[in-house]
A and B are shown apart, each in its own frame.
Chain A
Amino acid sequence: MTRALWDPGQGDTLSQLRSAVDRLFENVGGDLPWTSGWEPVAFPVMALREDADTFLLEAELPGIRMNDVEITCLDRHVSIRGERKHSGDPDESYQRRERPTGSFVRTIELPVDVDADRISASLEDGILRISIPKSERAKPRRIEITTPSRGADRSVVKDGKKEVKEE
Protein backbone atom coordinates (compact mmCIF):
# COMPACT_ATOMS: atom_id res chain seq x y z
CA MET A 1 0.00 0.00 0.00
CA THR A 2 1.27 3.42 -0.86
CA ARG A 3 0.51 6.31 1.37
CA ALA A 4 1.44 9.82 0.43
CA LEU A 5 0.86 12.25 3.23
CA TRP A 6 0.46 15.33 1.11
CA ASP A 7 1.13 16.58 -2.35
CA PRO A 8 4.07 18.86 -2.59
CA GLY A 9 2.17 21.50 -4.49
CA GLN A 10 2.08 25.26 -4.47
CA GLY A 11 1.74 27.58 -1.55
CA ASP A 12 3.75 28.42 1.48
CA THR A 13 5.69 25.29 2.24
CA LEU A 14 6.02 25.68 5.95
CA SER A 15 2.32 26.26 6.51
CA GLN A 16 1.72 23.35 4.18
CA LEU A 17 3.80 21.18 6.41
CA ARG A 18 1.92 22.38 9.46
CA SER A 19 -1.51 21.94 7.98
CA ALA A 20 -0.53 18.47 6.85
CA VAL A 21 0.54 17.59 10.35
CA ASP A 22 -2.66 19.12 11.70
CA ARG A 23 -4.69 16.99 9.33
CA LEU A 24 -2.78 14.00 10.55
CA PHE A 25 -3.90 14.68 14.10
CA GLU A 26 -7.50 15.29 13.04
CA ASN A 27 -7.60 11.96 11.31
CA VAL A 28 -7.20 10.12 14.56
CA GLY A 29 -9.91 12.00 16.39
CA GLY A 30 -7.65 14.30 18.34
CA ASP A 31 -5.44 11.59 19.73
CA LEU A 32 -1.79 11.69 18.92
CA PRO A 33 -0.97 9.02 16.36
CA TRP A 34 1.62 7.33 18.51
CA THR A 35 -0.76 6.83 21.43
CA SER A 36 -3.93 5.78 19.66
CA GLY A 37 -4.88 2.30 18.67
CA TRP A 38 -3.11 0.11 16.23
CA GLU A 39 -3.49 1.60 12.79
CA PRO A 40 -0.64 3.91 11.96
CA VAL A 41 -1.78 7.06 10.21
CA ALA A 42 1.15 7.05 7.86
CA PHE A 43 4.16 4.85 7.47
CA PRO A 44 6.77 5.67 8.37
CA VAL A 45 6.11 8.28 11.02
CA MET A 46 8.62 11.09 10.75
CA ALA A 47 10.06 14.06 12.60
CA LEU A 48 11.83 17.03 11.06
CA ARG A 49 14.19 19.20 13.05
CA GLU A 50 16.54 21.97 12.03
CA ASP A 51 19.29 24.26 13.17
CA ALA A 52 20.88 27.12 11.27
CA ASP A 53 22.82 24.83 8.92
CA THR A 54 21.03 21.50 8.66
CA PHE A 55 17.71 19.70 8.61
CA LEU A 56 17.52 16.36 10.37
CA LEU A 57 14.72 14.13 9.08
CA GLU A 58 14.04 11.08 11.23
CA ALA A 59 11.73 8.20 10.38
CA GLU A 60 10.77 5.09 12.30
CA LEU A 61 11.55 2.09 10.09
CA PRO A 62 11.62 -0.96 12.35
CA GLY A 63 12.73 -4.14 10.65
CA ILE A 64 13.98 -2.43 7.51
CA ARG A 65 17.51 -2.74 6.19
CA MET A 66 19.38 0.04 4.46
CA ASN A 67 19.14 -1.94 1.22
CA ASP A 68 15.35 -1.97 1.45
CA VAL A 69 14.96 1.81 1.57
CA GLU A 70 15.65 4.47 -1.04
CA ILE A 71 16.06 8.14 -0.34
CA THR A 72 15.74 10.65 -3.15
CA CYS A 73 15.99 14.42 -3.24
CA LEU A 74 14.64 16.60 -6.00
CA ASP A 75 14.84 20.33 -5.37
CA ARG A 76 13.29 20.70 -1.94
CA HIS A 77 11.46 17.39 -2.00
CA VAL A 78 12.91 14.51 -0.03
CA SER A 79 11.29 11.10 -0.50
CA ILE A 80 11.67 7.91 1.47
CA ARG A 81 10.44 4.79 -0.24
CA GLY A 82 10.82 1.13 0.38
CA GLU A 83 9.08 -2.02 1.29
CA ARG A 84 8.54 -3.76 4.56
CA LYS A 85 8.37 -7.39 3.72
CA HIS A 86 6.25 -9.92 5.42
CA SER A 87 8.21 -11.40 8.26
CA GLY A 88 6.96 -14.93 7.72
CA ASP A 89 4.77 -17.06 5.61
CA PRO A 90 1.49 -15.21 5.03
CA ASP A 91 -0.38 -18.48 5.26
CA GLU A 92 0.78 -19.09 8.78
CA SER A 93 -1.66 -18.87 11.61
CA TYR A 94 -1.52 -15.36 13.03
CA GLN A 95 -3.05 -14.74 16.40
CA ARG A 96 -2.29 -11.07 16.07
CA ARG A 97 -1.13 -9.06 13.13
CA GLU A 98 -0.63 -5.42 13.96
CA ARG A 99 2.67 -4.61 12.28
CA PRO A 100 2.21 -2.95 8.91
CA THR A 101 3.73 -4.51 5.80
CA GLY A 102 3.93 -3.53 2.18
CA SER A 103 5.54 -0.80 0.15
CA PHE A 104 5.55 2.78 1.30
CA VAL A 105 6.55 6.21 0.11
CA ARG A 106 6.52 9.51 1.88
CA THR A 107 7.65 12.86 0.54
CA ILE A 108 8.20 16.05 2.40
CA GLU A 109 8.90 19.47 1.01
CA LEU A 110 11.52 21.42 2.88
CA PRO A 111 10.94 25.14 3.39
CA VAL A 112 14.33 26.24 1.99
CA ASP A 113 16.82 25.11 -0.64
CA VAL A 114 19.16 22.33 0.37
CA ASP A 115 22.53 21.00 -0.73
CA ALA A 116 21.47 17.68 -2.23
CA ASP A 117 25.05 16.53 -2.83
CA ARG A 118 25.84 16.52 0.87
CA ILE A 119 22.79 14.61 2.16
CA SER A 120 23.78 11.67 4.33
CA ALA A 121 21.75 9.00 6.08
CA SER A 122 22.12 6.34 8.74
CA LEU A 123 19.87 3.58 10.03
CA GLU A 124 20.20 2.37 13.59
CA ASP A 125 17.80 0.44 15.82
CA GLY A 126 15.03 1.02 13.29
CA ILE A 127 15.43 4.81 13.14
CA LEU A 128 16.44 6.36 9.84
CA ARG A 129 18.25 9.67 10.21
CA ILE A 130 18.79 11.85 7.16
CA SER A 131 21.03 14.86 7.53
CA ILE A 132 20.18 17.50 4.91
CA PRO A 133 22.49 20.52 4.78
CA LYS A 134 20.84 23.79 3.84
CA SER A 135 22.22 25.50 0.78
CA GLU A 136 24.57 28.39 1.45
CA ARG A 137 22.01 30.85 0.11
CA ALA A 138 19.39 29.58 2.54
CA LYS A 139 21.45 29.97 5.67
CA PRO A 140 20.79 32.96 7.87
CA ARG A 141 23.38 35.68 7.50
CA ARG A 142 24.21 38.78 9.36
CA ILE A 143 23.24 41.96 7.56
CA GLU A 144 25.51 44.91 7.99
CA ILE A 145 23.61 48.05 8.85
CA THR A 146 24.96 51.05 7.08
CA THR A 147 24.39 54.60 8.22
CA PRO A 148 23.21 56.82 5.37
CA SER A 149 25.50 59.74 4.74
CA ARG A 150 24.24 63.02 6.15
CA GLY A 151 22.53 65.47 3.87
CA ALA A 152 20.97 62.80 1.66
CA ASP A 153 17.48 63.48 0.39
CA ARG A 154 14.64 61.72 2.16
CA SER A 155 11.53 61.14 0.18
CA VAL A 156 8.10 60.65 1.67
CA VAL A 157 4.86 59.98 -0.07
CA LYS A 158 1.99 62.21 0.99
CA ASP A 159 -1.44 62.48 -0.57
CA GLY A 160 -0.24 60.55 -3.56
CA LYS A 161 2.40 63.11 -4.27
CA LYS A 162 6.00 62.65 -3.69
CA GLU A 163 7.40 65.39 -1.55
CA VAL A 164 11.00 66.04 -0.98
CA LYS A 165 11.97 67.14 2.45
CA GLU A 166 14.94 69.32 2.80
CA GLU A 167 17.13 68.84 5.79
Chain B
Amino acid sequence: MEQTPEGKGLARPDTRMMSRPEQIRQAPHIHPPVDILDRTEEILLRADMPGIPPDGIDVRFENGVLILSGKAPEGPADMKDDVFREFERVDYYREFSIGEGVDEDKISADYDSGVLTLHLPKSEARQSRRIEIQRK
Protein backbone atom coordinates (compact mmCIF):
# COMPACT_ATOMS: atom_id res chain seq x y z
CA MET B 1 0.00 0.00 0.00
CA GLU B 2 1.29 3.41 -0.90
CA GLN B 3 2.06 5.84 1.81
CA THR B 4 0.30 9.18 1.76
CA PRO B 5 2.88 11.91 1.35
CA GLU B 6 1.11 14.07 3.88
CA GLY B 7 0.53 12.00 6.95
CA LYS B 8 -2.89 12.83 8.33
CA GLY B 9 -5.80 12.14 6.08
CA LEU B 10 -6.55 13.32 2.59
CA ALA B 11 -7.95 16.62 1.42
CA ARG B 12 -7.96 18.24 4.80
CA PRO B 13 -6.23 21.48 5.70
CA ASP B 14 -2.87 20.98 7.24
CA THR B 15 -3.24 22.28 10.77
CA ARG B 16 0.02 20.97 12.06
CA MET B 17 1.69 24.31 11.66
CA MET B 18 -0.59 25.73 14.32
CA SER B 19 0.04 22.94 16.77
CA ARG B 20 3.79 22.80 16.47
CA PRO B 21 5.41 25.73 18.21
CA GLU B 22 8.64 25.53 16.27
CA GLN B 23 6.71 26.13 13.07
CA ILE B 24 5.22 29.46 14.08
CA ARG B 25 6.16 32.01 11.50
CA GLN B 26 6.07 35.76 11.74
CA ALA B 27 5.17 36.77 8.21
CA PRO B 28 1.62 36.22 6.96
CA HIS B 29 1.53 33.41 4.46
CA ILE B 30 -0.89 31.19 2.61
CA HIS B 31 -0.90 27.51 1.81
CA PRO B 32 -0.65 27.05 -1.93
CA PRO B 33 -3.18 24.58 -3.36
CA VAL B 34 -1.50 21.44 -4.65
CA ASP B 35 -2.15 18.46 -6.86
CA ILE B 36 -0.30 15.30 -5.88
CA LEU B 37 -0.14 12.47 -8.37
CA ASP B 38 1.01 9.02 -7.41
CA ARG B 39 2.70 7.51 -10.42
CA THR B 40 4.52 4.27 -10.78
CA GLU B 41 7.99 5.70 -10.65
CA GLU B 42 7.48 9.02 -8.92
CA ILE B 43 5.23 11.24 -6.89
CA LEU B 44 4.45 14.39 -8.84
CA LEU B 45 3.49 17.52 -6.93
CA ARG B 46 2.23 20.76 -8.46
CA ALA B 47 1.61 23.88 -6.40
CA ASP B 48 0.04 27.17 -7.49
CA MET B 49 2.35 29.91 -6.31
CA PRO B 50 1.67 32.85 -8.60
CA GLY B 51 3.46 36.15 -8.25
CA ILE B 52 6.72 34.80 -6.94
CA PRO B 53 9.85 35.42 -8.99
CA PRO B 54 11.77 32.16 -9.56
CA ASP B 55 14.56 33.19 -7.19
CA GLY B 56 11.99 33.61 -4.41
CA ILE B 57 11.01 29.93 -4.50
CA ASP B 58 12.61 27.64 -1.96
CA VAL B 59 12.19 23.87 -1.72
CA ARG B 60 13.75 21.92 1.13
CA PHE B 61 13.72 18.33 2.21
CA GLU B 62 14.73 17.84 5.81
CA ASN B 63 14.20 14.77 7.98
CA GLY B 64 11.44 13.41 5.82
CA VAL B 65 9.59 16.74 5.62
CA LEU B 66 9.21 18.52 2.30
CA ILE B 67 8.93 22.29 2.72
CA LEU B 68 7.77 24.58 -0.06
CA SER B 69 8.08 28.30 0.40
CA GLY B 70 7.87 31.37 -1.77
CA LYS B 71 8.87 34.88 -0.87
CA ALA B 72 6.66 37.58 -2.29
CA PRO B 73 8.45 40.54 -3.86
CA GLU B 74 8.23 43.94 -2.26
CA GLY B 75 5.08 45.90 -2.98
CA PRO B 76 4.67 47.81 -6.21
CA ALA B 77 6.54 51.08 -6.52
CA ASP B 78 3.76 52.86 -8.38
CA MET B 79 1.33 55.16 -6.66
CA LYS B 80 -1.88 53.42 -7.61
CA ASP B 81 -4.68 53.09 -5.06
CA ASP B 82 -6.76 50.00 -4.47
CA VAL B 83 -10.27 50.03 -5.87
CA PHE B 84 -10.80 46.46 -4.72
CA ARG B 85 -8.52 43.59 -3.89
CA GLU B 86 -9.12 39.86 -3.58
CA PHE B 87 -5.53 38.74 -3.17
CA GLU B 88 -2.48 40.10 -1.45
CA ARG B 89 1.21 39.79 -2.09
CA VAL B 90 2.02 37.35 0.67
CA ASP B 91 4.49 34.57 1.14
CA TYR B 92 3.63 30.94 0.47
CA TYR B 93 4.47 28.15 2.86
CA ARG B 94 3.46 24.52 3.07
CA GLU B 95 5.03 21.36 4.32
CA PHE B 96 4.43 17.69 3.73
CA SER B 97 5.61 14.60 5.50
CA ILE B 98 7.10 12.33 2.90
CA GLY B 99 7.15 8.70 3.81
CA GLU B 100 10.13 6.56 3.21
CA GLY B 101 10.57 5.45 -0.30
CA VAL B 102 11.44 8.72 -1.99
CA ASP B 103 14.90 8.99 -3.39
CA GLU B 104 15.61 12.40 -1.94
CA ASP B 105 18.84 12.91 -3.84
CA LYS B 106 16.93 12.80 -7.09
CA ILE B 107 14.12 15.24 -6.25
CA SER B 108 13.88 17.84 -8.98
CA ALA B 109 11.84 21.04 -9.23
CA ASP B 110 10.92 23.67 -11.75
CA TYR B 111 8.82 26.82 -11.61
CA ASP B 112 6.93 28.06 -14.63
CA SER B 113 4.03 30.49 -15.06
CA GLY B 114 3.43 30.59 -11.33
CA VAL B 115 3.32 26.82 -10.89
CA LEU B 116 5.94 24.89 -8.95
CA THR B 117 6.38 21.31 -10.17
CA LEU B 118 8.24 18.75 -8.08
CA HIS B 119 9.29 15.30 -9.16
CA LEU B 120 9.86 12.95 -6.24
CA PRO B 121 11.27 9.71 -7.65
CA LYS B 122 10.41 6.61 -5.71
CA SER B 123 13.34 4.56 -4.62
CA GLU B 124 13.77 1.29 -6.43
CA ALA B 125 12.44 -0.83 -3.59
CA ARG B 126 9.15 1.07 -3.50
CA GLN B 127 8.23 0.68 -7.12
CA SER B 128 5.74 -2.00 -7.80
CA ARG B 129 7.25 -4.54 -10.10
CA ARG B 130 5.72 -6.72 -12.67
CA ILE B 131 6.60 -10.29 -11.90
CA GLU B 132 7.43 -12.34 -14.86
CA ILE B 133 5.60 -15.65 -14.97
CA GLN B 134 7.62 -18.48 -16.32
CA ARG B 135 5.93 -20.82 -18.70
CA LYS B 136 6.79 -24.40 -18.40
**Hey, which bits of chain A sit against chain B, CB under 8 A?**
14, 17-18, 21, 24, 33-35, 37-38, 40-42, 45-51, 54-56, 60-65, 87-88, 92-100, 111, 123, 125-127
Q: Apart from A96-B11, A100-B33, what are 5 other A-B pairs with CB-CB below 8 Å?
A: A34-B88, A42-B86, A50-B81, A51-B80, A87-B35
Q: A29 to B44, alpha carbons, bound, how many Å?
A: 33
For A92, give its contact among B5, B39, B54, B83 (CB under 8 Å). B39
For B114, give its contact among A33, A63, A87 (CB under 8 Å). A63
Interface pair A92/B37, CB less than 8 Å apart: yes
Q: Which of chain A's residues has its CB closest to B29's CB?
A: A35
Chain B: minimal CB distance from A52 (Å):
9
Q: Give the interface residue-count category, chain B.
A: 35 or more
- In the complex, which residues of chain B have a beta carbon less than 8 angstroms from the beta carbon of A88? 35, 37, 44
- In the complex, which residues of chain A have a beta carbon less than 8 angstroms from the beta carbon of B90? 34
Give the residues from 51 to 99 in chain B that come closer than 8 angstroms, CB to CB, to chain A. 51-54, 78-88, 90
- The answer to whether the Cβ of B119 comes within 8 Å of any Cβ in the partner chain is no
- In the complex, which residues of chain A have a beta carbon less than 8 angstroms from the beta carbon of B51? 60, 125-127
**Hey, which bits of chain B sit against chain A, CB under 8 A?**
4-6, 10-11, 13, 30, 33-39, 43-44, 46, 48-54, 78-88, 90, 113-115
- In the complex, which residues of chain A have a beta carbon less than 8 angstroms from the beta carbon of B4? 95
Interface pair B50/A126, CB less than 8 Å apart: yes
Interface pair A34/B113, CB less than 8 Å apart: no
- In the complex, which residues of chain B have a beta carbon less than 8 angstroms from the beta carbon of A127? 50-51, 114
Interface centre among B30, B49, B83 (most CB of A within 10 A): B83
Interface pair A87/B86, CB less than 8 Å apart: no
- In the complex, which residues of chain A have a beta carbon less than 8 angstroms from the beta carbon of B11? 38, 96-98
- In the complex, which residues of chain B have a beta carbon less than 8 angstroms from the beta carbon of A100? 33
Interface pair A47/B6, CB less than 8 Å apart: no
| Selected A-B contacts with CB under 8 Å, 25 pairs | A24-B86, A33-B86, A34-B86, A35-B30, A38-B11, A41-B86, A47-B87, A50-B81, A51-B79, A60-B48, A60-B50, A60-B51, A62-B49, A62-B50, A62-B113, A63-B46, A63-B48, A63-B113, A87-B35, A95-B36, A95-B43, A96-B10, A96-B36, A97-B11, A126-B114
Interface centre among B36, B37, B86, B87 (most CB of A within 10 A): B86
